Amino acid sequence: MAGWLEALRLTRRTLGGLFRGSGTASRAASLEELEEQLIRADVAPALAADWIKTVGRAESVKERQTLLREAMLQSLSAEEGFNWDPVDKPQVVLLVGVNGSGKTTTCAKLGFQANSRKHRALLAGADTFRAAGTDQLRIWAERLGCEIVAGKQGADAAAVAYDATEAALQRGYDYLFIDTAGRMHTKQPLMTELQKVRRSIAKVKADAPQEVWMVLDASLGRNAIAQARVFHEAVHLTGVVVTKMDGSSRGGFVFSIFQELGIPLRLIGLGEQENDLEPFSKVQFVEALLNQDEPSE
Ligand X SMILES: Nc1nc2c(ncn2[C@@H]2O[C@H](COP(=O)(O)OP(=O)(O)OP(=O)(O)O)[C@@H](O)[C@H]2O)c(=O)[nH]1
Binding site for ligand X (CB under 6 A): 97, 99-105, 127, 136, 182, 243-244, 246-247, 269-272, 276
Of 37, 104, 180, 200, the one binding Mg ion (CB under 5 A) is: 104
User: What is the smallest separation between the CB atom of 5 and ligand X, expressed in angstroms?
Assistant: 15
- Least separation in angstroms between residue 149's CB and ligand X is 17
Q: Determine contact, residues 282/254, Cβ cutoff 8 Å.
A: no
227 is an interface residue for Mg ion by CB under 5 A: no
Within positions 128 to 167, which residues make up the interface with Mg ion, using CB under 5 A?
A: none
Buried b (16+ CB within 10 A) or exposed e, 100-137: ebbbbbbbbbbbbbbbeeebbbbbbbbbbbeeebbebb
C-alpha span between 119 and 173 (Å, rounded): 8
Which of 100, 139, 84, 80 lies closest to 268 in space, CA to CA? 80
CB of 95 to ligand X, least distance (A): 8
- Cβ proximity to ligand X: between 3 and 247 the closer is 247
Residue closer to Mg ion (CB basis): 9 or 103: 103
Chain residue whose CB lies nearest Mg ion:
104
Q: What does 102 bind: ligand X, Mg ion, none (CB cut-off 5 to 8 Å by kind)?
A: ligand X
CB of 87 or CB of 132, closer to Mg ion? 132
- Find the part of the chain contacting Mg ion (CB under 5 A) among 5-13, 91-99, 104-112, 185-193: 104-112
Residues 6+ apart with CB under 8 A from 159: 151, 200
Q: Which is nearer to Mg ion, 19 or 112 (CB)?
A: 112
- Residue 133 C-beta: closest distance to ligand X, Å: 7
The option from Mg ion, ligand X, none interacting with 105 (CB < 5 to 8 A, set by class) reads ligand X
User: Would you say how long the chain is, in residues?
Assistant: 297
Nearer to Mg ion, 47 or 137 (CB): 137
Distance CA 47, CA 266 (A): 21
CB of 2 vs ligand X, minimal distance in Å: 8
Residue least distant from ligand X (Cβ): 182
Residue of 86, 148, 141, 166 lying closest to 119 (CA atoms): 86
Q: Which is nearer to Mg ion, 18 or 191 (CB)?
A: 191
Applying CB under 5 A, the residues found at the interface with Mg ion are 103-104
